[in-house]
Amino acid sequence: MKVTYTQIGTIHSPFKAPEGTPIQPGGASGVPGTVEVFPEYVEGLKDLEGFSHIILIYHFHLIRGTSLLVRPYMDAEAHGIFATRAPKRPNPIGISVVRLERVEGNLLHIRDVDIVDGTPLLDIKPYVPEFDIRNVQSIGWLEGKVHKLGDARDDGRFLEP
């Protein structure tokens, strides 16, 4: 079965290339950006401004190829792609929870952006703590490594096919 998605907008950020881009919103605190929603989808933004945070779902458009084993940014060891947030996935889909500052027509002004400029937007969902926060017991191989998030940046390792 073939599955296809339609781009509903474009994400804009100060990051013109993957190299140097923060690897998660938690490492991009305060970084501004905008989301340009295409005119035919603007009606769907009604009532979004009432949320302080939103989930952006997007396509990793610069990634070529896939790897089932990857060496993620915060570890020297290879891990299965599904045990990481690395972009070289069978379906190159990314997610980021960002802070929504305001909506102006078809533009969403956001903060905490960890996304490369020009990234195709696939969907927007409101972030709701009661839906999205879980009492997590374990974070696998990331245990003892998440303290590296503030300094972790993309080094281009996932751009090669």
Domains and CATH numbers, the chain: 9-129+136-146 (2.40.30.70)
How many Å from the N-terminal Cα to the C-terminal Cα in the chain?
Answer: 24
Whether the per-residue pLDDT at 139 is higher than 90: the answer is: no
Tell me what pLDDT residue 135 has.
84
Comparison of pLDDT for 137 and 2, the residue scoring more = 2
Tell me what pLDDT residue 95 has.
97
- The pLDDT-based confidence of 114 (bands split at 50, 70, 90) is very high
- What value does the mean pLDDT of the chain take? 92
Quote the Cα angle for 29-26-114, to 5°: 75
Residue labelled with tokens 């069978």: 90
Alpha helix (H) ranges present in the chain? 129-132
Comparison of pLDDT for 20 and 119, the residue scoring more = 119
- The pLDDT-based confidence of 146 (bands split at 50, 70, 90) is confident
